[in-house]
């Protein structure tokens, strides 16, 4: 199993550009999450999903959108990129149906908006 795979690993965007951060997991986890981590800071929840077709906002959803058409994939869309979105983005998944609560994180996407 690959676990949680994120692409790309690095990206530089110009202000106003758009992009999609990809996240896929092969563990059949029902829960998926997107977090951002600013330099020297903790993790803030952007969006999450409890299953295919269901998404909800986290603490800092403004400027982002998500979709969950399949159990495996949970892409994060940035529209009209702004310097404030410069951050490291982590996707995570978990499976609570089996009583496992721990998150499995992807390796992260380092995004710079200039």
Q: Does 90 bind another protein (CB under 8 A)?
A: yes
Residue whose CB is less far from another protein, 10 or 12: 10
Per-residue tokens: 39? 């330099």
Choice from 24, 29, 33, 55 touching another protein (CB under 8 A): 33
Number of residues lying near another protein (CB under 8 A): 22
For another protein, the binding residues (CB under 8 A) are: 31, 33, 35, 41-45, 48, 50, 56, 58, 90, 94, 96, 101-103, 105-108
């Amino acid at each position: 199993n690959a676990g949680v795979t994120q692409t790309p690993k690095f990206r530089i965007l110009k202000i106003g550009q758009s992009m999609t951060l990809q996240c896929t997991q092969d563990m059949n986890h029902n829960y998926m999450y997107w977090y951002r981590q600013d330099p020297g800071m903790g993790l803030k929840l952007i969006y999450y999903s409890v299953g295919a077709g269901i998404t909800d906002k986290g603490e800092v959803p403004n400027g982002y959108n998500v979709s969950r058409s399949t159990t495996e994939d949970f892409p994060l869309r940035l529209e009209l990129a702004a310097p404030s979105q410069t951050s490291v983005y982590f996707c995570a998944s978990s499976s609570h149906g089996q009583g496992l609560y721990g998150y499995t994180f992807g390796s992260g996407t380092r995004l710079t908006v200039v």
